[in-house]
Amino acid sequence: MITLHQSFQQMEATAEAGTWTGDDALFEMSEGEAANSVAVLNALDAEVPDAAPSTREITELQTTTIGDELTQVDPDLDQRWRGALFALSPSNPDAGRHFCTSAREILDTMLVQAAPDHDVFAANPNAATTQQGSPTRRSRVEFCLRRSGSLDDSLVAFVDANLDNVITLFDEFNHGTHGRAGRFDLVQLRAIKRRAEDAIRFVALITS
């Protein structure tokens, strides 16, 4: 959380200094991502009420505002996302594991498909790599932003920190759902869903 906040502060400082070279839409979405990270933590820290959600509330929870962002990448990703939403229910003790695992795989796949290994290395033979020899997530982000003409060091750092934040949240959420059924209430599930939805839109804009 501190890293994400500091990354956004650096972006703001870059913009104020007049040296920002990224896209304005990405800056605005970055601000939203930083705010979402705080909102979801507040929701997860809230006391869980005993009231059961209504059928209407569960239906709304399982309805997405994601349009064709995933279909344009791979129709299978869109189906995976809708399957994750279908499982997202306060009464489902496996909801967190299913939803978070699917959302994480979707984000990873979007980035890898937009920045394949050979393209990243062709653009930058010295790109940072993982222990397995593949480009790091940050290298893929840098490739995508350079290709779109929105490369800015502070933006690259923020995107990488934001994805770290989302994945850490998924891991924490996953761990928490190993308890009793209904461990998370409707407000908390809405928060994690929105965090994932907006992260998908953010990555879609970066990789477009």
pLDDT tens, residue by residue, 124-152: 999 999 999 999 999 999 999 999 999 99
> What phi and psi values does residue 17 have, to the nearest 5 degrees?
-80, -10
Is 43:187 a contact under the CB 8 Å cutoff?
Answer: yes
Q: What amino acid is encoded at 122 in this protein? A: A
- Provide the CB-side half-sphere exposure for 9 (13 A, CA): 6
Residues 71-115: tens digit of each pLDDT: 988 999 999 999 889 888 777 777 777 888 899 999 999 999 999
Residue 192: per-residue pLDDT: 86
Mean local confidence (pLDDT), 42-67: 79
Cα angle 8, 148, 164; round to 5 = 35
Distance CA 91, CA 180 (A): 9
Work out the pLDDT band at 184, boundaries 50, 70, 90. Answer: low
Q: Region 165-193: what's the mean pLDDT?
A: 71
| Alpha carbons 11 and 100: distance in angstroms, whole number | 28
